[in-house]
Amino acid sequence: MILVATTGCGFGTSCPTHRPPKKRCHSSYYKVVLKLNQSNFKAQVSSVEIHHRVRGCECFDLYKELIPYQEAWSWQKSIVRKRQALTGRDEDCHDNIIILQHPPVYTLGTGSSEEYLNFDLKNAPYNIYKTERGGEVTFHGPGQLVMYPILNLRYHKMDLHWYLRALEEVVIRVLSSTFSIKASRLDGLTGVWVGNQKLAAIGIRASQWITYHGLALNVTTDLTPFQHIVPCGIRDRQVGSIEGLLGESGPSSEWGAENTSHNLIDVTHDSLLKEFSEVFQLTLNHKFVSCSDFLKEEPLIPQ
């Protein structure tokens, strides 16, 4: 079963309805009802008892490192394969998240059109990867925090609309709580926006209800490479960054000239993990392993 969620262009699925597996992992329960629409996402305690296990989440935190895109992509697929095997034995007891930065690279989704590239493929400014995620072309580079959640939606909510909105909610909360930036969703366009500027792009894939790929938030990113593409296939809007928006608003009591780009990355990283754990009700357990070390544990299986 394969599910694809596209960025800014709707999504398509091809799957039968699956029942959640019998869960053998022992953990505490919480009661929650998720109310969701395109403009609002709330998680609140309800008198209606809906049992859901509070899950752990292994966090591979490499946010200060530049991990080549192909390595991170292979890493995700390796984790997904392991998780699928555990799911088959009803032993998938925790989720995973990878957070990192990439060297400059362009990536395209499954249905991407080359018309959104403002350069000749034979003379591209940076490496290009055609991936199985949803969405159009985007850019990854230093100063952009990329989060790859590998979640088993059987233990959350088996709904890709819900998952996309939840990822947006993480970023919206980060911008509001940490920087007092009011961000929003736009009907029909996946991602997080401040006015006419897109700060976070989202493109996902799910296989057997296990997600990979994820979101990219521009923090101190050099936005120049976006000029060589039509980001996410949207011609009439711009791309922005947290640093750029803070610069437009002028020095504040908290974010003045004394704060560096390095500090901004650190603070955004901390806030992203905090809001992610709250939105998805996950307890993060930091794992100290490199991408290359992880891949050595399991030889890659050709896809």
Residues serving a catalytic function are 232
Contacts of 145 (CB under 8 A, 6+ apart): 63, 99, 100, 101, 216, 217, 219, 265, 268, 269, 272
- Are 213 and 205 in contact, with CB atoms under 8 Å apart? yes
What φ, ψ does residue 208 adopt, rounded to 5°? 55, 40
Other CB atoms within a 10 A radius of the CB of residue 180 amount to 12
Which of 276, 8, 1, 303 lies closest to 134, judged by CA? 8
Angle between helix axes 242-249 and 160-179 (nearest 10 degrees) is 40
